[in-house]
Every structure is written in structure tokens, then in C-alpha cells.
Amino acid sequence: MAILSAIPIVRHTWAPPEDISTHGHLIDEQLADTMVEAGVAFVAAQIILGIFIWTASSARPDAKIRNFPGGAKGLVAAAVLLVGTEVLALGVFGQKAWASIYFTPPGANALPLQVQAGQFAFYFRYPGPDGKFGPIHPELVNEGNQNYFGLDQTHDQDSKDDIVAAEMAIPVNREVHLLMHGKDVGHSFYVRELRVQQDFVPGLDLSLHFTATKVGRYEIVCTQLCGLGHYNMKAYLSVLSPEDYDAWLKKEQAMQ
Amino acid sequence: MHDTAVHATHHGPPTSFIRKHIFSVDHKVIGKQYYALGLFSVLVGMVLSWIMRLHLVWPNFAIPGLGLLSPAGAPGGVVTPEYYLQLMTMHGTLMVFFVLTNVPFAGFGNYFLPIQIGADDMAFPRFNMMSFWVTFVGACFLFAAFFVGDGPPLAGWTAYAPLSTLGKITGPGEDVGQTLWAISIGIFCIGQLLGSLNFIATTLDLRTKGMTFMRMPLCTWAWFITSCIGLLAFAVLLPACILMILDRVAGTSFFIPGGLVVNDQLQPHSGGSPLLWQHLFWFFGHPEVYIAILPAAGIVSHILVNSYRRPLLSHKVVIYSMMAIGFLSYMVWGHHMFVSGMNPVSALAFSFPTLVITIPATILTLIWVGSLYGSKLRINSASLFALGFVSMFVAGGVSGFFLAQPSIDIYLHATYFVVGHFHMVMGVAAIFGMFAGTYFWFPKMTGRMMNETLGKAHFWFTFVGAYCIFMPFHYLGLAGNVRRYSTFVDDFMGPLMPVHKFISIAALCTGAVQLIFLYNLLHSRFWGKPASANPWEGTSLEWSTSSPPPWDNFGGKHPVVYHDPYQYGIESSTGDYVMQDSPEQIQTVRDDKKLTP
Amino acid sequence: MRQHLKYKLAAVLCAVLLLTIGVVTSVRRVHAAPPAGESSITGTVKLNGTPPRQRPIDMSKEPSCAAIHASKPVTTENVVVGPSGGLANVVVYISQGWSGPPVVATQPAEVDQKGCQYIPHVSAVDVSQAMKIVNADQTSHNIHPQPTKNPEWNKSQPPGAPPIETKWQNEEVSIPVKCNIHPWMHGYFAVVKGPYGVSDTNGAFTIPNIPPGNYTLTAWQETYGMQTQQITVAAGKPATVSFAYTAK
């Protein structure tokens, strides 16, 4: 049993992909700490269990029954002390990581960008030169006409220069303020490398902010069960150098 | 303490077949009925998981016969993406509700709770019969979903709104299937509420003379605490299901906000909140985890004491820990919703109780392991499964550390890590508890012994198999493998496919091994060795009566209890133990007192 | 050895014979001699004005489809105008005046999903005619028609899955059809009771086998809607008609 339980120590074979965000190292460190503590607890518990089973099952028939040193009081005290401090430590450090992500407002220079999730694709909207997003009119949504957001570009001044794209491109090392809009059912925005995951709640527009630190092409996937196409609900995130980003934005503008 | 004989002994044993075996008010028959319903559900649920595992690794494999069973979901036997999700939903619903809740709690609880407290039936025998048959009707509604128009629902066992409430337009299965699901679960809640009330009333009122609270065996305690949890939890899920049915059929908008556009069509709803469903569901859903695991923990404690041949280090601490878990289980539901759009402050508020709940869980584990030290362990199928439960409980418990922390949950939420976690701690551990209970109590329930060799073989294969299946789930999760995907289409998943193949093969083998158990169960039922009244040399009251017990449990008498439940490891006229109803004078082995004076 | 050859020859001959019979019978069914005096309606549909700009479609979500269109990006197909100003994908059908038996083609109408597009974009079928939906892509599609007069359904079709066969029992012009997995995939099924024609990229259409008489013709275009015209068909002489929509 103990040997079997030791197998999971080899778990480092499957590690999370490389982190590309400014906040991700906090999560990674927290994960590593927890892994050490939980791993030790797990392996130790299993081995002790195995040893005790071995000795107890081979006890001689005339052997006297002995109590565990310290008895129940000792064990309870140990549990409260050890697990209590562990919990407190993990809790406090964990809060720091969480707070750094959720309790700080996005910077003034953050790039505003809207993402909309609908069955079964993500679409992205950039505010264009005026920096303003035009209003969404749900009744105007027409995907056959490529109007994924329900924009009225003939009447709404703010919508005229909005850029809608099927791919998310962001400049490297610049904070992004992601406004999230759910179109139909629940979805989620998950980028493994960014250490970002947040549900879309229909009827409730949430926002996130993060900074990507490495140029590359990554996958955005949906992690909230949304129906038959859930497994194929994804988009790509391109983290580009500022020049490439400007060029990309120009190209997308021409496609509108 | 109530020792008056207010029991239903005024009527004789039933004579007609129907009153005896079908619409019986006898708690023992009802317990077996729950067990049978659970056994059927677990078999169906397991076959569903096989189909899913096969489809995940060989997506184009045509499963013979499946095309005939569901021509819409799996044309030609090839599973479509929606059929995968439908199977997943049904697997989860069947396993959580009709197996993990039914068997360790309603099944064994019904059979043994009255016997262990020396009662001759439940407090409300007719309520008891009703609770089973209501549950049965609920199961019928659920199974019916397989055969309606576009099949069972695909919104998962959590049935998140608004996917589950907007209706047909959101996808196959969201038509009649989802409505049947909501009706089925609503009915199931009624059955559980009746059952819980009955358990509570029975424990409070029908304890026999001398059976104080602290003299109740640990599994009785676990059932009692569980029924208190269940009473509150199912009372929340029931109205939630009613609101869901109203949203679906009456056009209300409890869980649906305005301005939703599905398939280019503006939905005629406004004013509801999808988060409301999540709160209601998880307010039930998290206690539900403990409804599944606490009875198993109680059963396992009961069996471990018996095979350790000594009392646990502390009877009281185990009871208080279970109570603490039950209480805390109501303060942690939000940890299912760290990334679902709650206020981030509340994530912190939910994180702490979640981490704190590991303390009573650790105490339980330490008591189980610590009591093993210096004991004279008897190895048999029941004790092996009980020890296996401890191992699984630890394995599933430590992964809870990760998920309890909102910051780590950002990365691990909705990955296979979560799947591995809850399968280990809730699924496998609870099922190990059921297996342990079955091997332990089978002689009492049928009057025949199960085959020990087959039982031990069953344990080893299942134990190794369960680790092979569910441990790799954690690795997949760490690598960022998202759950609830019917096919892995992206390049990212390529390197992980060998792991998935390994899991699938392990799942098929481990599933096949369960045939040993099934064979053992059926064969021993009819041809097993006859069992004595007390084959395991146990002390609690179920061993004081014959195997199987007569219809009124103690043959018209009411046992009188003289001792604490687990007086093992002493010298008495019967051996190393004294039964609870034995008038023999002994020095009671109590908590924290030296065993050898 | 020689024995084998004989068998093979016999088998091949049989196959050829069967094939010939098949071809002959099917050809005969399609080209069954029209009853005396039957004629046809031919015509064109034009768009006056500047056609609205069709937006390019970014298929990057589905790399296998994006690769197919890498050299030539696809656009939306709401208004497809040919070089000569002809308007394509217009369904022209006899909406009133048809007294003959309902026309039901024996061949199934085939709708292909290729490169994450519906081909054809507008499929016209007879009421009760078999419709066969094929997935030629390397990815799953789901077919989600949204009828108002027929039952709604929604099924996915993984790559390599058998064709989905269906029928429509009520006349409905037209049923929008979508793939939710690829939200840009958008098309129409026109279910028509009487004879019909669908315009090609030159805007030309033909409705064959029409007995002499007075009819109401309806043209339907997905963006611009319906237009009707009265037409008289004389015996033995094709009637011509032209529709014109104005760009908005």
C-alpha cells in the first residue's frame, strides 16, 4: 500500500505550462508550497498507515493492546496545531496572491478590451481611436451578418470605429483591462499560461486585468459547461510586440 | 432517554408477498430496496462512464449496439459531443443522488439504525415506505430522460442556469430531458426529507433502555448527523428545483437575466440571476458531499473498531469531529464559485472555513490511524475496504488543500484536478465504505457469509485500479486539462493523450473487476455458508439478534443496554469483547483511560 | 486460375449491368417526357444599386477550416451579386395557381458542410423531399435549423459521421440554419410545395415542367425578402420573368 501510495511523487512530469503573466508567479509559488505540504502529508500518512497495518496485522495473539503515545488528546492537539498553522499559513499567503489579482484596480494606462462569450465562440471588441465602446443592442445580434455584439454602427457614434475580431491580440508588457460580457449561457475565460480564469455570468458584466510578459500565441478555452460545442469553444490569444500589435489593429480595422 | 415501548408491535408480521417484499413498512426490507436501487444505478452509472472513457480516447470508435439504443445521440454507435455531455450528466446525477446518497445513508441506515438502538422499526414506518417509493418514482423520471425526444439533459449534475433553464434552443437534451431531471431531483428531495425526519425521530425517541447518546455506535451517530444535514440541505434544493421547473415550463425568470441572445434570438426573459441558482445549488451541494461521505466514515469507524479489537482512541472526539464537519459544511458552499463572479471578498470568507474543515477531517484520520497502532488487526474483506477508505480519504483530502485556496483555484478550477479530487474523496471513498459495509453486514442481512477469498481479490484489484484511474486525473489537472470536454481537439492535449489512454484502460479493467463482487454477492446470497448471529464477534446490538433478524428485530423483546458500544480488548466470558446488552460486569474501557490498568 | 478469371469477369459484368440499369432508370425518372403542352418559366433576378459590402470571415477559431481558405478569404453571403449584377441565391417559386399534384423530387437534396460553410448557402427542397446533410470537414458541426412551421432540431455531426437524413413536412420559405460551434456558418433551407428555381450567380433561374395557366410567382431573398409577380404560361413556349431588388 505504502509503495503504491508513493507513486504520485513522480507528479512533476506534468507541470503547468510556463507562466507568462505578471501575477502568475504568486499562484505558482502558492501551488508549489501547497504541493510540498500536501505531498508530505499525503505520503507520510500513507506510509504510516501501511506500517501500522503491517505491524498490527502480524501482532502475536497474546500481545497486549497498546495505546498510541499521547492518546486521543495528543492526536487532536497535533491535528489542531499542525493543520491549523498550515491552514493559516496557506490561507494568509493565498489571500495575498488573490488580493494582488482582484483587489487592485487596473492602471490608468490599461488597454480596454471587451470579450464576449456565446455558444460556442469568443469575440473581441476594441474601442477604436475614440476609446469608447458603443452600446450593445441584443435585438440586433446577427451572427450571419457578422454582427456578433449587436452594434448599431449607423446610428451609434461610439460604435462606428469599434473593431470586432475573432482573435485576441494584445501588446506585450502592457496591462489589459478585460471587460467580460456573456451573451447567452454561462461560459468561462481560461488561459493556462496567463493563470487567468473567470466565468462569464449572463446579465452581469465582470472585468479582469492582467499583463502578459511573453510574445507568443496561446489558447483561450471555455471552462464552464455551455452545451454541445463546449469542447470546441476556444479562441487564440496573440501576445505581440507593440509594433506588431499596431499593424494587427490596422489590418483588423480594414476588415470591418 | 425513552425506554417506553411505544413501538408498532401491535400488528403481526405481514403475510402477503406484496406487503412483505414490495410495499413493506419493515425498515429492513426498505433498506434492502434502497440498496438494490443503488446497485442498479451504480451499474448503469459505471457503464455510462465506460462509454465516456472509450469515447475520450477513441472518439471515432463505434460502440456496438449503442447506435440501436440511442439512434439520435450515437448514430451508428459513434458518440456525438452532446451525447457525451448527456452521459456525463446522467453519470453524475445517478452516482451522487441515487448511489452515494442512497446506499450508505438511506440503505444501510434504514437497515441498521433501528437495530443498533434496539428499536423494532422506524418511528414512522409508513413514512419510511413512502420515502423509498417516492425516491423510486424520482429514479423512474430520471431514467425516462434516456427515452425522450432528444435525450437526457446535458447541463451536468450541477445544472447551471441559464443553460438548464432556457429550454430547447440551447441544445439537445435541454427540452423535456432537463425538465424530467428537475422533476426527478425535486421528488428525490421529498424522499430524502421524509427519510431524514424519520431518522431523526427514530434516534431521538426509540432508543432502548440503557442506550444513551454516547452509547450509540459511531455509524448510528453518522446517520443521525447526516440526517440533520440532509434535512436542511434537501429543503433548499427542493424549492430550487421548483423554481427551475417554473422557469422552464411557466416562463418565469428566476435564474434568467434579460438581454440574452441564443442562436440569434433574443430571449423573452428578464430580471433573474444565474448566480442565484449556483448559491441555492451549492448550499445544498456542499453538504451533499458530507451526506455521501459521513455515513461512509461512520460505517468505516464501526468496522475498524471491530477489526482493531480495541476501542478507538476516543469515541467522543470522533462524534464531535463529525458534528463539526456537518456544521462547517454549511459555511463553505462558496468555494465552488471562486471564479464564477462572486464578489472577490466573499471568496476569502469562504476559503477560511474550507481550510478549517480539514482540521476535524484530519482528527478523524488521525484517530483511525492512531488507533491502529498497537491493535490486533484482523484482516478480512470488510476491514481491507475500511482501511482502503482511509487511504482514499487522505488522498482525496489533501487535494482539497489546493482547491480551497482561491488563488490556486484560478488555475485548477474546472480542470481534471477537481475531477480527481471529488472522485477520490466522494466517489471512491464512499463506495469503499459501501463495499466495507456490504462485506461486514451481508451475513446479518441475508444469513449467509460472503466468500472471503473473492472479497480480498476484489479489494486489491479495486484499490490498485482506483488509484490508477483517479491519481492521473490530478496530473492532468496540473497540466491544465479542462474537464467536461467530449473530445480534445487542440494540440495542447496531444502529449496528455497517453495519460488518458492509461486511465481509460484502467477504468475498463477496474469496472470489469466489479463482476467479482457482483458474482460474490449473488452467489453468496443463495449458496453462501450459513452465518451465525455474530460472525465478526461484534458488540453492537445488530449482533445480538439472529441473522437475518426477525421482522420485529429482537423477537418481541427489547434489549437492555449495559455498556458502551465498543468494549473490545478486554477479558470476558465471551472472549475479548462484551456485547452491549450483556449484563456481565466489566470495567468499562473509556476514552483516554489506560487500557491495561 | 482460369476458373477465377471467369468468376471475376462474371462479377464485373454483373456490376456493370446493375449500374447501367440503375443509371437508365434514374435518368428516365428525371427526364420523364413532359405531358403534352408543358412549358417552363425562366428569368433573372437583378440587384439595382451598390450591393452592401460583405464582411470577411475570420475562421481562426477553427484552424482546419481557416487553412482551407488561407489563400482566398471568405465573406458573408447575405447578398451575392454576380459580375453582371445578377442576384444569386434567390428562391423563385409558384406560390399560387398550382393545381397539379405536389412535386416531390425523388433524389435527396444534398447540403454539404465544407470549409465551415454551407454549400449551397440556400438549399431549396420540396415538402417531404429527402434532405441529406453531409460533413466533409475535419471538425464537428452542429446543424441547428430554426423553423417556425416545422419542428426545431439541433444535432451535431462529428467528422466522418454518417449523413444526417431529414424531411420537412410543411412549406416554409425559409428556415434559417446555423452551426453554433462555428457561429459564422449560416444558411437557409427553403421548403416549397410547388415547382421552384434558385438563381445562380448570374441571377438566372429556371422552373421546368409548368402546364399552361396563370400563376403567382414569389421570389425570396434572405436580406431583401419577398416579391411577387403574376405570370401567364402559354403552351409550348417558355415564359420569361424578371425580378429586381433595390440595394438598401
Tell me the pLDDT tens digit for each residue of A156-175. Answer: 999 999 999 999 999 999 99
Q: In what order do the strands lie in the sheet with A187-191?
A: A168-171, A234-240, A216-221, A187-191, A196-200
Please tell me the predicted confidence (pLDDT) of residue B252.
93
C-alpha A174/C-alpha A242 separation (Å) is 9
Are B285 and C166 contacting, i.e. CB atoms less than 8 angstroms apart? no
Please tell me the predicted confidence (pLDDT) of residue B592.
44
Residue window 65-94, chain A: list those with CB within 8 Å of chain B.
65-68, 71-73, 75-76, 78-80, 82-84, 87, 90-91, 94
Q: Which domains does chain A have, with CATH numbers?
A: 2-59+67-102 (no CATH), 111-255 (2.60.40.420)
* Closest CA–CA distance from residue B171 to any residue of chain C (Å): 6
Candidates B339, B352, B391; nearest CB to A198: B339
Going from the C-alpha of B376 to that of each of B225, B568, C50, the distances in angstroms are 30, 11, 93
Mean pLDDT of A199-203: 93
Please tell me the predicted confidence (pLDDT) of residue A80.
86
User: Contact A232/C181, CB-based, under 8 Å?
Assistant: yes
Q: What sign has the CA pseudo-torsion B12, B13, B17, B20?
A: positive
Task: Read off the pLDDT band of A215 (50, 70, 90).
Answer: very high
Q: From A233, which residue of chain C is nearest by alpha-carbon distance?
A: C181
Where do the structural domains in chain C lie, given as residue ranges? 1-31, 42-246
Taking CB atoms and an 8 Å cutoff, what residues of chain B touch C144? 263
* Closest CA–CA distance from residue B78 to any residue of chain C (Å): 8
Element (H, E) at B462: helix B452-478
Taking CB atoms and an 8 Å cutoff, what residues of chain C touch B80? 140, 155-158, 161
Of C92, C42, C44, which Cα lies nearest the Cα of C194?
C92
Candidates C58, C140, C176; nearest CB to A166: C58
Mean pLDDT of C110-118: 95
User: Per-residue DSSP letters for B243-301?
Assistant: HHHHHHHT---SS--SS-EETTEE-S--S--HHHHHHHHHHHHHHHHHHHHHHHHHHHH
Where do the structural domains in chain B lie, given as residue ranges? 29-256+271-578
Kindly report the length of chain A. 256
Candidates B355, B373, B394; nearest CB to A42: B394
Whether the per-residue pLDDT at A9 is higher than 60: the answer is no
Please tell me the predicted confidence (pLDDT) of residue B533.
93
Q: Is A197 on the interface with B (CB under 8 A)?
A: yes
C-alpha C196/C-alpha C189 separation (Å) is 13
User: Contact C154/B150, CB-based, under 8 Å?
Assistant: yes
Residue window 130-149, chain C: list those with CB within 8 Å of chain A.
139-140, 142
* Closest CA–CA distance from residue C142 to any residue of chain B (Å): 9
Of B91, B94, B139, B125, which Cα lies nearest the Cα of B11?
B125
* Closest CA–CA distance from residue B167 to any residue of chain C (Å): 12
Are B14 and B20 contacting, i.e. CB atoms less than 8 angstroms apart? yes
Q: Give the best-scoring range by mean pLDDT among B211-220, C95-104, C232-241.
A: B211-220
User: Contact B363/A76, CB-based, under 8 Å?
Assistant: yes
Going from the C-alpha of B255 to that of each of A146, A202, B163, B174, C163, the distances in angstroms are 29, 10, 10, 15, 37
ipTM over 0.90: yes
Output the tens digit of pLDDT for each of chain B's 597 residues: 344 444 444 456 777 888 888 899 999 999 999 999 999 999 999 999 999 999 999 888 888 888 888 888 888 888 999 999 999 999 999 999 999 999 999 999 999 999 999 999 999 999 999 999 999 999 999 999 999 878 899 999 999 989 999 999 998 889 899 999 999 999 999 999 999 999 999 999 999 999 999 999 999 999 999 999 999 999 999 999 999 999 999 999 999 999 999 999 999 999 999 999 999 999 999 999 999 999 999 999 999 999 999 889 889 999 999 999 999 999 999 999 988 888 888 888 898 889 899 999 999 999 999 999 888 899 999 999 999 999 999 989 888 888 988 889 999 999 999 999 999 999 999 999 999 999 999 999 999 999 999 999 999 999 989 988 998 898 889 888 899 998 887 666 777 888 899 999 999 999 999 999 999 999 999 999 999 999 999 999 999 999 999 988 998 888 999 998 999 888 888 888 999 998 887 777 665 444 433
Please tell me the predicted confidence (pLDDT) of residue B584.
82
Q: Which amino acid is at A91?
A: G
User: Contact C146/B60, CB-based, under 8 Å?
Assistant: no
C-alpha B314/C-alpha B319 separation (Å) is 9
Secondary structure of residue C45 in the 3-state scheme: strand
User: Contact C184/A229, CB-based, under 8 Å?
Assistant: no
| B480 CA to centre of own chain | 28
User: Contact C153/B81, CB-based, under 8 Å?
Assistant: no
Instruction: Return the C-alpha cell found at B421.
Output: 479530487
Please tell me the predicted confidence (pLDDT) of residue B597.
32
Q: Which amino acid is at A15?
A: A
Candidates C152, C160, C180; nearest CB to B168: C152
Size of interface B-C (CB pairs under 8 A): 46
- Interface mutation target, options C62, C181, C182, C185, chain A, most CBs of A under 10 Å: C181
Give the class (CATH, top level) of B29-256+271-578: mainly alpha
Question: Is the omega angle on the peptide bond into residue C208 within 30 degrees of 0, that is, cis?
Answer: no
Taking CB atoms and an 8 Å cutoff, what residues of chain B touch A223? 413-415, 482-483
Are C206 and C40 contacting, i.e. CB atoms less than 8 angstroms apart? yes
Candidates A121, A236, A256; nearest CB to C183: A121
Residue window 89-128, chain C: list those with CB within 8 Å of chain A.
none
C-alpha B540/C-alpha B440 separation (Å) is 13
Please tell me the predicted confidence (pLDDT) of residue A10.
46
Whether the per-residue pLDDT at C37 is higher than 60: the answer is yes
Q: What is the pLDDT of residues B73-128, one digit of tens each?
A: 888 888 999 999 999 999 999 999 999 999 999 999 999 999 999 999 999 999 99
C-alpha B155/C-alpha B329 separation (Å) is 25
**Apex B423 CA angle, B417 and B427, nearest 5:** 170
Of C237, C112, C242, C241, which Cα lies nearest the Cα of C187?
C112
The domain C42-246 having CATH identifier 3.10.105.10: the answer here is no
Q: At B560, phi and psi to the nearest 5?
A: -110, 135
Mean pLDDT of C71-99: 91
Whether the per-residue pLDDT at C26 is higher than 50: the answer is no
C-alpha B371/C-alpha B374 separation (Å) is 7
Q: Which amino acid is at B194?
A: L
Taking CB atoms and an 8 Å cutoff, what residues of chain A touch B366? 75-76, 78-79
Q: Is C228 on the interface with A (CB under 8 A)?
A: no
Q: From B460, which residue of chain A is nearest by alpha-carbon distance?
A: A1
DSSP-derived pairing of the beta strands C239-246 and C39-48 = parallel
C-alpha B484/C-alpha A224 separation (Å) is 8
C-alpha A169/C-alpha B310 separation (Å) is 66
Mean pLDDT of C149-174: 91
